[in-house]
Amino acid sequence: MNQDQSFPPQQQEPPGSTEQMTPTPDHGEESYVGSEKLVGYKALVTGGDSGIGRAVAIAFAREGADVAVSYLPEEEQDATTTAQWVRAAGRQCVLLPGDLQDEATARGVAHRAAGELGGLDVLVNNAGYQMARRESIADVTTADLDRVLKTNLYALFWVTQAALEHIGDGGSIINNSSIQAFQPSTTLLDYAATKAAINNLTVNLAAELGPRGIRVNAVAPGPIWTPLQPATQTEEKITSFGADTPLGRAGQPAEVAPAFVFLASPVTASYVSGTVLGVTGGKPVF
């Protein structure tokens, strides 16, 4: 596990690329070892091309699941790399390019995933967007709001609604929340608001879907080294990224993926629903 806390100044344009990051994030490519927790399962991971999404896709595959990965068309290179790792684990990987800000695309991703995988057992709503290069609320434009709300909330609703036409008893939905839902940064007020909403949605949806045998949970990561960071943070913030956690460092995507495996698997979490699980380096999630 690469736990080097050294992040040299760097910036990219959104959505960012793994290849351009220094140091390269650890997605568990060389470290994650499965133990058959998801054998025969079929999963859709939105935003699965890089970062936490890639780490989850790799972990799911090594646990025995086939995986569909949705991503923006401009993230094709990262998505192809993710697919290579999934297939190297002996599992099927379906690539689904498209912008989830579009309702038809978002719903279509869920239906295509189920169609090409032959069903759907697990949905990971991981796709997200933030922008922290601003000084105050006055700098938040309507276009900013549209992109953050549609990517983080609207798409989650659309993909989930469509996926629920395919997920049955024993299935699982896992939403990607954030420490920002509990300790919001002023430069991320719109993003933080969507993550608080995701926590609320997770609890409500767990109550609604429990009678159908479907569990709904969320993972709340802290500062994790993904392409979203150099693509949306200032260079000054990058150099100290994660240093304010009790553990004193940022996390790697590979350190978050096991939480998703835990929540997805009936072996480990058959009685866990309506929970927000923090992977924050010690920051509290309450």
pTM, whole model, 2 decimals?
0.94
Is the predicted pLDDT of residue 1 greater than 50, yes or no?
Answer: no
pLDDT score, position 119? 98
- Let me know if residue 77 belongs to a domain: yes
pLDDT, one tens digit per residue, over 23-82 is 999 999 999 999 999 999 999 999 999 999 999 999 999 999 999 999 999 999 999 999
Q: Which of 32, 41, 191, 271 is catalytic?
A: 191
Q: Looking at residues 182-201, what average pLDDT do you find?
A: 95
- Distance from C-alpha of 157 to C-alpha of 107, rounded to nearest angstrom: 9
- Let me know if residue 29 belongs to a domain: no
Q: Looking at residues 134-154, what average pLDDT do you find?
A: 93
Domain span at 212 = 35-279
Radius of gyration of the chain (CA): 17
Residue 191 annotated in active site: yes
pLDDT score, position 5? 63
- Let me know if residue 273 belongs to a domain: yes
Determine what percent of the chain is predicted with pLDDT higher than 90: 83
pLDDT score, position 12? 87
- Rounded (10°) CA dihedral 78, 84, 86, 90: 170
Q: Which of the residue ranges 3-12, 42-51, 189-198 would you say has the lowest mean pLDDT?
A: 3-12
pLDDT, one tens digit per residue, over 239-256 is 889 999 999 999 999 999
Q: Looking at residues 6-13, what average pLDDT do you find?
A: 87
Is the predicted pLDDT of residue 3 greater than 60, yes or no?
Answer: no
- Distance from C-alpha of 258 to C-alpha of 251, rounded to nearest angstrom: 13
Spell out the residues 6+ positions from residue 144 whose beta carbon is closer than 8 angstroms to its own.
Answer: 131, 190
Greatest mean pLDDT range, 135-144, 162-171, 185-194: 162-171
Is the predicted pLDDT of residue 223 greater than 50, yes or no?
Answer: yes
pLDDT, one tens digit per residue, over 87-132 is 999 999 999 999 999 999 999 999 999 999 999 999 999 999 988 7
pLDDT score, position 232? 76
Q: For the chain, how many structural domains are there in total?
A: 1
- Distance from C-alpha of 82 to C-alpha of 78, rounded to nearest angstrom: 6
- Distance from C-alpha of 111 to C-alpha of 120, rounded to nearest angstrom: 9
- Let me know if residue 21 belongs to a domain: no
- Distance from C-alpha of 127 to C-alpha of 52, rounded to nearest angstrom: 9
pLDDT score, position 234? 83
Looking at every residue in the chain, the average pLDDT score rounds to: 94
Cβ(104)–Cβ(111) below 8 Å: no
- Let me know if residue 28 belongs to a domain: no
Would you place residue 19 in the very low, low, confident or very high pLDDT band (cuts 50, 70, 90)? Answer: confident
Is the predicted pLDDT of residue 2 greater than 70, yes or no?
Answer: no
Alpha helices (runs of H) in the chain, residue ranges in sequence order: 51-62, 76-88, 103-117, 142-149, 155-163, 189-209, 228-232, 235-239, 257-264, 266-269
Amino acid at 32: Y
- Distance from C-alpha of 242 to C-alpha of 138, rounded to nearest angstrom: 26
- Let me know if residue 40 belongs to a domain: yes
Cβ(53)–Cβ(28) below 8 Å: no
Which CATH number goes with the domain that contains 236? Answer: 3.40.50.720
- Let me know if residue 17 belongs to a domain: no
Determine what percent of the chain is predicted with pLDDT higher than 70: 98
- Let me know if residue 92 belongs to a domain: yes
